[in-house]
């Protein structure tokens, strides 16, 4: 009698476990985010070397950087020319303002100075700029 009840319990457990695996939905994990996640890690590491972020600030900082990298990539895919540049300037301004909530005032001042070097809007080769574009 004990053997049959143990088998029933074991069989029920296996069925429930099988059903839960069959119907499980797997949410997008960090490893699925690929290059954006890697880029955010690299930027956060670069800034951390200069800003000395705390253990609480690092994940918050990375989350904001990752969010704006994704938005910038979408903007670059969707827009061109002046509209793209205007949208990127707006995104960068919003990102900078959001960092004010995460960083201390001295960190924030240094962040604003470093941002142009670490996250340039667009790299332009001066040789490619025509004389008439300079005027």
| Residue 96 φ then ψ, to 5° | -60, -45
Task: Provide the 3-class DSSP secondary structure of residue 14.
Answer: helix
| Contact indicator for 65, 44 with CB cutoff of 8 Å | yes
Look up residue 12 and give its two tokens.
């029920």
pLDDT in tens, 32-81: 447 889 999 999 999 999 999 999 999 999 999 999 999 999 998 998 88
Look up residue 23 and give its two tokens.
């119907």
pLDDT at 124: 55
pLDDT at 43: 94
Does the pTM exceed 0.85? no
Q: Has residue 113 got a pLDDT over 90? A: yes
- Domain range annotation of the chain: 34-121
- Mean pLDDT score of the chain: 81
Distance, CA of 16 to CA of 22 (rounded, Å): 10
pLDDT at 108: 96
pLDDT in tens, 117-129: 998 876 555 565 5
Q: Has residue 130 got a pLDDT over 70? A: no
């Amino acid at each position: 009698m004990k053997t049959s009840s143990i088998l029933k319990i074991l069989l029920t457990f296996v069925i429930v476990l099988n059903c839960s695996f069959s119907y499980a939905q797997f949410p997008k994990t960090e490893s699925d985010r690929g290059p954006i996640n890697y880029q955010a890690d690299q930027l956060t590491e670069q800034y951390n070397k200069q800003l000395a972020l705390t253990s609480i600030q690092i994940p918050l900082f990375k989350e904001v950087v990752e969010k704006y990298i994704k938005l910038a990539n979408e903007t670059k895919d969707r827009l061109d020319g002046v509209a793209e540049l205007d949208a990127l300037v707006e995104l960068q301004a919003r990102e900078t303002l959001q960092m004010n909530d995460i960083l201390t005032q001295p960190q924030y001042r240094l962040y604003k100075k470093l941002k142009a070097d670490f996250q340039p809007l667009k790299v332009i080769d001066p040789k490619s700029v025509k004389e008439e574009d300079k005027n």
